[in-house]
Amino acid sequence: MLVMGIESTAHTFSVSIVSDKGAILSNEKEVYLPPSGSGIHPRESARHHVEVAPLVLKRALRKANVRIKEISAIAYSAGPGLGPALRVGASLARAISYYFAIPIVPVHHAIGHLELGCLLTKAKDPIGLLVSGGHTMVVSPVEGKWRVFGETLDLTIGQLIDQFGRLLGYSSPSGPMVENLAKKGRKYVELPYVVKGNDVSYSGMLTFIKKLIKKGEKIENLAFSLQETAFAMLSEVVERALALTGKKEILIVGGVAANRRLITMLEKVAKRQKARVFAVPIEYSGDCGAQIAWPGLLYFKEGYTVKPEEAFVRQSWRLDKVYVPWRR
């Protein structure tokens, strides 16, 4: 069985083909890069996706060495994300489904990150830390859903890093540039540390950093301090979730999972709690078609498909509202 996954929630357009053996046969992508100092504009991102979609689709089929008629189902990212960008992927999925009479499967983007992470790391029953531009959540599978144990109250960690990067003239996503800057930092600058229960808040930290930039604080020290403070907050809430549930696995997924400092801090948490850290491989930490194809295959095996005309997109869609039958 082969399933194609189409990812188009934000800046990345990607197509992947996976097998029911868990093999990722292809994972091709193109990423929209906004102008320096800018964020992702939904219309421009969608335009980018329309332009690259045929090329990425052809590359994915060629790399997997399969014909489209050999595909058992088409999975697409139904949300959450940028409306115009989501509609590009959904439209392509509908067109392929109609023309080749292939079943279609909508997939929640965040569920994709988590389930692909479990596939690649072999984590079985983890506390999941989902850290990206769209999500910052501490979750775990319980009775057919990924349940939320804590989350951001405002900015996601990815938004915090990207907005800091834009203050310095970088374009989104700016995580690698900020991480490199942080390695050059030599002084910790105290920043707002806000943990409420098991939730975190980052908006005050960003406001405080803006004031420090105007006062002339070195950007390397600010990047270092941002990472140390923001990641310590995440480490605290993950450790509390571990202690509450008694689970022994930490799964880190999402674009920010590529940050080595975050992984190092969570490894210290795991050591205290006698747990293990499972970090998704860097090449699959960001948005990609594989994260849509794999859960799409799992849903398809459970008999879940929709008619092409019923293929929906949802810009706002909480992951704890999504039934995950293989986790029941």
Assigned fold of 124-284: Nucleotidyltransferase; domain 5 (3.30.420)
Q: Where are the domains of the chain?
A: 2-113+286-327, 124-284
212 membership: H or E segment, kind and range: helix 203-214
Fold identical between 2-113+286-327 and 124-284? yes
Q: Beta strand pairing status for 145-151 and 136-142? A: antiparallel
In this structure, CATH architecture of domain 2-113+286-327: 2-Layer Sandwich (3.30)
Please say whether the beta carbons of 195 and 237 come within 8 A: yes
Query: For residue 5, what are the β-bridge partners?
Result: 16, 75
* pTM of the shown model: 0.96
Q: Which residues of 160-184 are buried (b: 16+ CB within 10 A; e: fewer)?
A: bbbbbbbbbebbbbbbebbbebbee
Q: How far is CA 143 from CA 135, 295, 327, in A?
A: 22, 17, 6
For every one of its 328 residues, what pLDDT tens digit does the chain have, with 9 covering 90 and above?
999 999 999 999 999 999 999 999 999 999 999 888 788 899 999 999 999 999 999 999 999 999 999 999 999 999 999 999 999 999 999 999 999 999 999 999 999 999 999 999 999 999 999 999 999 999 999 999 999 999 999 999 999 999 999 999 998 889 999 999 999 999 999 999 999 999 999 999 999 999 999 999 999 999 999 999 999 999 999 999 999 999 999 999 999 999 999 999 999 999 999 999 999 999 999 999 999 999 999 999 999 999 999 999 999 999 999 999 999 9
